Structure 1
């Protein structure tokens, strides 16, 4: 089961790293401001920093925390928080990463609160992020530090196959049958879209998972948080995760064709590379594949008595099943 941290444990870790604070720690108990599948976020002082404690041992995390730190460090100022420091805690012979980063004020907005004007500001933020470019895709450190200089390409069909290979054995019974009914259409769709994605010759630093719950808004300024899935890849992926025809819960907004076009035009006007029609095809593809993966994850959690799925997430799974199926049927 994922680990939960106490305020006392957080205070002890922060006290061992006074360099994270930049000033003496004010009196008061640290308080938790967020909890996800992989991390808990804590504020040890009102002005920050934000300290994120892994809830699982490092070997069980879905992504390398060193990649997250590298991505935040490479991102242009103002797009996301700046990394401050990191540590690894030993608990019961297991290693748990801890990452300290700049605290970003603001709040996560519900999908209905995202106006066209705010989406256009987000598009400009993404265009700024995507100015960090490389000639090949891959991990942030592997590409930016030339650890793996071989030329590469993105294989979207293989990405979809990887999702299916990972989740199909983990979804028995009725959920598995319902999910399998989506996999064939998704693979056929991926085969059609893959050549366009494979043809890309320039790649960007991307956030990798800019769903609405990973964006904090202060006034009219959206800032990307939770860089767990940052990578060097297709910038259209970042443009897709705000939502569209595939939508669910608080993560992906239901957007009309006109709203998506407006978002992409704002992105290109702000200096984002690409042409609106091509960006639209690719961003829709990444969103559909992500919807399939998240649906599998939610059904897997729902089928495990040891895990508790919330009513909101069960409703989001129903939204994903319906909208992914409708999107593929309309393709």
Structure 2
């Protein structure tokens, strides 16, 4: 399993368009979507008369907001791929299957899917419910969000579990680390040789090896979100947190969904500065709420150790990702984020140095 969670393979200019007959970022697409809805040829349109506007873009998709023209309730989001299917990190159909299991009160849920380009839009696409509110940023974080986040993740895990038996055994932290390094070594070898990354690798490996025992005997949960970073947490007008973007969802470790939102290692727009006391509260609240909801019991101590491992895995992965993009047009921003991540990793793994 390659970790490479929320950022994915960098998209180059030559990757974005080939194989797609529709430019996902074309400003003129708003008129196309509105015309299609009026003609009844846009699958998942909330009404025949809509207004369409661009919500934003990630590595793999551009999101378009579809609102009923009469401003009635029931807006939807159309997600259009930015790259060919062969270059997507995960098949669209798998994400859609996950979205079908998510209750609308917890976040994005399935509305419709066009799995091929054989449709009037000339591209595959997914339509989901719209989650009103705004994505969290680093400045939004405060300790009072800890219980709300613990409850959201516990309810999400329980809702998609459907009393299914556990999946296969979890790989150890060491196994995940070597898979991650192997992928970057083959795909972007220069990142591992960068002076911001190279000195970290051995103490990072040792820190992860110390967490291996917490993975032993654990089995994967049927479905985790896989990318619970700040931009994927929406704070609604009702004050509740909800999840969006299930591109990286699938069977996995429940502890991973507790690790990606933040902790001691931060950098860029993805992570909140969450201190040790808040981390402990997040893990303990999650374990308690999961048990209350009837989920498979989880020892809080082992859960905390695995969360620690996933923080280390994710942050090095993201450091390497930022290094891989540091020469692009927006390279200064990625270089700055790489500096922040490297400094945080160095602080955390320094105790493992000989």
Q: TM-score, normalised by structure 1?
A: 0.85
Indicate the structure with greater helix content.
1
Q: Does 1:40 align with 2:62?
A: yes
Q: Could you tell me which residue of structure 2 aligns to residue 234 of structure 1?
A: 253
How far 1:71 moved relative to its partner?
1.4
Cα–Cα, structure 1 residues 54 and 198, in superposed 2: closer, same or farther, change >3 Å?
A: farther
Q: Could you tell me which residue of structure 2 aligns to residue 72 of structure 1?
A: 99
Map 1:242-261 → 2, pairs under 5 A: 242-261=261-280
Take 2:89 and 2:34, find their aligned partners in 1: how far apart are those partners? 26
Q: Could you tell me which residue of structure 1 aligns to residue 223 of structure 2?
A: 205
Q: Does 1:114 align with 2:135?
A: no
- Show CA shifts across 1:41-91 (max 9, x none): 001325521000110101001112222111121234422211111114549
Q: Could you tell me which residue of structure 1 aligns to residue 129 of structure 2?
A: 102
Could you list the runs of 5+ residues in structure 2 that have no partner in the other structure?
A: 1-12, 18-22, 69-73, 292-296
Map 1:167-182 → 2, pairs under 5 A: 167-169=184-186, 170-172=188-190, 176-182=194-200
Q: Secondary structure at the match of 1:329?
A: helix
Q: Could you tell me which residue of structure 1 aligns to residue 85 of structure 2?
A: 58
Q: TM-score, normalised by structure 2?
A: 0.79
Aligned residues between the structures: 310
**Contact 2:104/2:129, CA 8 A, preserved across alignment:** no
**Contact 2:131/2:234, CA 8 A, preserved across alignment:** yes
Q: Secondary structure at the match of 2:211?
A: helix
**Contact 2:46/2:76, CA 8 A, preserved across alignment:** no
**Contact 1:168/1:176, CA 8 A, preserved across alignment:** no
**Contact 1:215/1:225, CA 8 A, preserved across alignment:** yes
Cα–Cα, structure 1 residues 161 and 96, in superposed 2: closer, same or farther, change >3 Å?
A: farther
**Contact 2:101/2:109, CA 8 A, preserved across alignment:** no
How far 1:162 moved relative to its partner?
1.4
Take 2:126 and 2:223, find their aligned partners in 1: how far apart are those partners? 20
- Show CA shifts across 1:107-126 (max 9, x none): 01222212222221111011
Q: Could you tell me which residue of structure 2 aligns to residue 298 of structure 1?
A: 322
Map 1:270-289 → 2, pairs under 5 A: 270-271=289-290, 273-289=297-313
Q: What do you get for the CA RMSD once the two structures are aligned?
A: 2.5
2:49 to 19, 25, 30: 25
Cα–Cα, structure 1 residues 125 and 291, in superposed 2: closer, same or farther, change >3 Å?
A: same
Take 1:230 and 1:205, find their aligned partners in 2: how far apart are those partners? 6
Take 1:212 and 1:127, find their aligned partners in 2: how far apart are those partners? 17
Q: Secondary structure at the match of 2:347?
A: helix
Cα–Cα, structure 1 residues 120 and 106, in superposed 2: closer, same or farther, change >3 Å?
A: same
Take 2:191 and 2:233, find their aligned partners in 1: how far apart are those partners? 36
